[in-house]
A and B are shown apart, each in its own frame.
Chain A
Amino acid sequence: EVQLVESGGGLVQPGGSLRLSCAASGFAFSTHDMHWVRQVKGKGLEWVSAIGKAGDAYYSVSVKGRFTLSRENARNSLYLQMDNLRAGDTAVYYCARGYCSGGTCHPHVDVWGQGTTVTVSS
């Protein structure tokens, strides 16, 4: 079964740091791009960051310079280091798999984890 399991969320003060992890199973992790998407409670989805198969990372304007995305293919794991957190970063963070079909990968996401909640508050 294809599965993504996020961990590492919690309560942190403004200016603090958290490291989110995403454990992948049931598929060839190293052959997929991976993404983080967040959702404020009761609101829409917001793309946060993505990392290619080769480890090249990309960020939304809202988190660039504060978040760092990395992957460890040998451990089938994805990591999001979040520094200098702000109240506006409060959300459920989803790990999501880049979509590949018929040997071709497309810039969408298909499999999502259940999310981990990050709360930034004093």
Chain B
Amino acid sequence: QSALTQPPSASGSPGQSVTISCTGTSSDIGAYNYVSWYQQHPGKAPKLMISDVNKRPSGVPDRFSGSKSGNTASLTVSGLQGEDEAEYYCASYAGSFTLVFGGGTKLTVL
């Protein structure tokens, strides 16, 4: 199972919006509406930010939103804040309990 493809970096100024893409295949992202996004700060465990393509778990700000089209999913962070600077990983269900992750995108708030 190959990793999902994410851009290595993204950036935006405070208050702006930024979108991070995540490209998979017809066997993972394209096959299931089970895309998730995780935020990881240095030295910390990942945190679930988006599940089921576009659902925010309790406590996640509505500045975070997700979408999917075909084999590509996207995470949009609106109204960027300094605390949003982190590594972001996408993941998709790929059948038989298997998850496949993206390589990660480092989001920098300028």
Contacts and interface: CB of A to CB of B under 8 A. Distances in A.
A120 B46 CA distance: 24
B48 to A, nearest CB: 5
Interface residues of A, number: 26
Interface residues of B, number: 25
A101 B99 CA distance: 18
A9 to B, nearest CB: 15
B49 to A, nearest CB: 10
B39 to A, nearest CB: 11
Contact of B45 (A33, A99, A101, A113): A113
A56 B103 CA distance: 28
Contacts of A47: 91, 98-101
A106 B51 contact: yes
A115 B98 contact: no
Interface of A: 33, 35, 37, 43-47, 50, 52, 56, 58, 60-61, 94, 99, 101, 106-110, 112-115
